[in-house]
Structure 1
């Protein structure tokens, strides 16, 4: 069986997270999100996690 490791996201993960968010928006809502806007939002939340909850 494969092992799954769960960890907190790091700033180095921002581009991947932003890309996944864009793909999900397109797939589930047929929305195209601007890459720079999504990346800025992801970076903001990674730097200030309290703003995400």
Structure 2
């Protein structure tokens, strides 16, 4: 991201997982922070 060459590839994935644990009703079946394959993540605050 932004051309930087340090850090681990899974850093974003770990942060998204921790975010889901805090805001999702069921983190294993997320509805607010969803993965959009080939693009990234999408946040929908209206979902429960």
Structure 2 length as normaliser, TM-score? Answer: 0.39
Q: Which has the larger radius of gyration?
A: 1
Structure 1 length as normaliser, TM-score? Answer: 0.36
The higher-RCO structure (CA 8 Å, 6+ apart) is: 1
Q: Hey, which of these two has a bigger chunk of helix by percent? A: 1
Q: Hey, which of these two has a bigger chunk of strand by percent? A: 2
